[in-house]
């Protein structure tokens, strides 16, 4: 997302690094649900989820939401145009909902049943509430609800891709990660776990793609078909990593991902603030024009700028990683 959010120019972007305009999906549309999925996995595999006081998840969620609101207001903090929904806000809400569900599920049912039922109810409810409705950007039920609650404090004038209503199916995405985490904690060999994850993931992905014919895959609306497709793709990706790392022992390629992932929130927040500051100070266009436009192809030049930005963020995270600095909510 650092590369996606910081191109040299928004007028020259390769399609895999851009979101689908409305219905459909691109590789970029997988990133956010993948993050929510792995949040869910971490809830189930972390011992602190159950051992920490009940209020600890709420405090963590509040910090994440607070960071999101700070990013939305930065650098002018104009109350009249302060966006209320956002990426980190959604992550915080989804984390809290999934963590509390996992904590309060009776132990004898925790292995799968009630958690899966909760995810299914969210997905089915969203579908039932929208199946006969308007799926346009301004006319869908989520956009109308967001306008009533937040007024003009939205990403667009009349709608927001991280609005309140579309956060419900996003919680289901997080819960799907919890289910994967529960499976990973169960007994069995890594190869068996990876094979099962890959199989279930492939089935979910296929179901989401088939459902697309009746209910379009749409990230901005976080449609139920999108939940199935992205959860399936995330499970297959996780299964691939388990097979490569735990079964085959191929670990050398993972270091860059470990460095970036160890301080993922710091990376997202700092990159977002720096990116906005460069635009506000009119430095982003100057750096792009003088340092990268000469490359020739506008898309290549824009991508080179984004990769340079990522390299700088990686350098920051690498220093933090080497010094054992871990900033978390």
Could you read off the pLDDT of 51-107 as tens digits, one per residue? 888 889 999 999 999 999 999 999 999 998 899 999 999 999 999 999 988 888 766
Helices and strands counted in the chain (H then E): 14, 0
In this model, does residue 280 exceed pLDDT 60?
A: yes
Is 271 domain-assigned? Answer: no
Does 73 reside within a domain? yes
What does the pLDDT read at residue 114? 64
Is 13 a member of any domain? no
The lowest-confidence range among 3-17, 22-36, 72-86, 94-108 is 94-108
Answer whether residue 256 is part of any domain: no
pLDDT at position 318 is 96
User: What is the predicted pLDDT for the residue at 48?
Assistant: 81
pLDDT tens figures, 187-219:
899 999 999 999 999 999 999 999 999 999 999
Q: Average pLDDT for residues 271-292, to the nearest whole number?
A: 93
The pair phi, psi for residue 24, each rounded to 5°, is: 95, -175
Q: Which domain, by its residues, includes 72?
A: 22-250
Average pLDDT over residues 288-307: 93
* Tokens standing for residue 260: 């970036």
pLDDT for 107-129, tens place per residue? Answer: 655 556 667 777 888 888 888 87
Q: Give the pTM.
A: 0.94
Domain count, the chain: 1
* 59 domain-assigned: yes
Query: Token pair for residue 112?
Result: 């799968």
**In this structure, are residues 195 and 184 in contact, taking their beta carbons and an 8 Å threshold?**
no
CA atoms within 13 A on the CB side of 214: 11
CA atoms of 30 and 21, how far apart (whole Å): 14
Q: pLDDT: is 78 or 47 the higher one?
A: 78
């Amino acid at each position: 997302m650092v590369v996606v959010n910081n191109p040299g120019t928004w007028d020259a972007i390769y399609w895999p690094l851009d979101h689908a305009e409305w219905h459909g999906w691109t590789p970029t549309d997988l990133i956010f649900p993948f993050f929510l999925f792995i949040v869910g996995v971490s809830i189930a595999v972390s011992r602190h989820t159950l051992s920490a006081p009940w209020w600890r998840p709420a405090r963590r969620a509040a910090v994440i939401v607070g960071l999101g609101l700070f990013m939305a207001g930065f650098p002018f903090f104009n109350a009249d145009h302060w966006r209320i929904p956002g990426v980190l806000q959604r992550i915080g809400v989804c984390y809290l909902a999934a963590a509390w569900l996992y904590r309060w599920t009776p132990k004898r049912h925790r292995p799968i049943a009630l958690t899966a039922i909760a995810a299914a109810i969210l997905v089915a409810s969203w579908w039932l509430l929208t199946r006969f409705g308007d799926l346009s950007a301004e006319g869908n039920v989520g956009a109308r609800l967001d306008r009533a609650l937040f007024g003009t404090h939205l990403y667009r004038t009349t709608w927001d891709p991280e609005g309140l209503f579309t956060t419900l199916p996003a919680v289901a995405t997080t819960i799907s990660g919890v289910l994967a985490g529960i499976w990973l904690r169960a007994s069995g060999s890594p190869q068996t776990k990876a094979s099962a994850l890959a199989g279930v993931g492939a089935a979910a992905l296929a179901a989401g793609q088939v459902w697309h014919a009746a209910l379009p895959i749409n990230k901005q609306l976080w449609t139920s078909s999108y939940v199935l497709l992205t959860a399936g793709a995330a499970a297959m990706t996780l299964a691939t990593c388990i097979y490569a790392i735990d079964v085959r022992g191929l670990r050398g390629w993972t270091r860059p991902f470990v460095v970036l992932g160890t301080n993922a929130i710091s990376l997202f927040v700092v990159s977002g603030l720096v990116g906005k500051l460069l635009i506000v100070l009119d430095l982003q266009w100057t750096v792009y024009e003088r340092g990268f436009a000469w490359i020739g192809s506008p898309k290549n030049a824009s991508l080179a700028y984004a990769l340079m930005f990522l390299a700088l963020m990686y350098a920051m995270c690498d220093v933090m990683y080497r010094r054992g600095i871990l900033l978390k909510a």
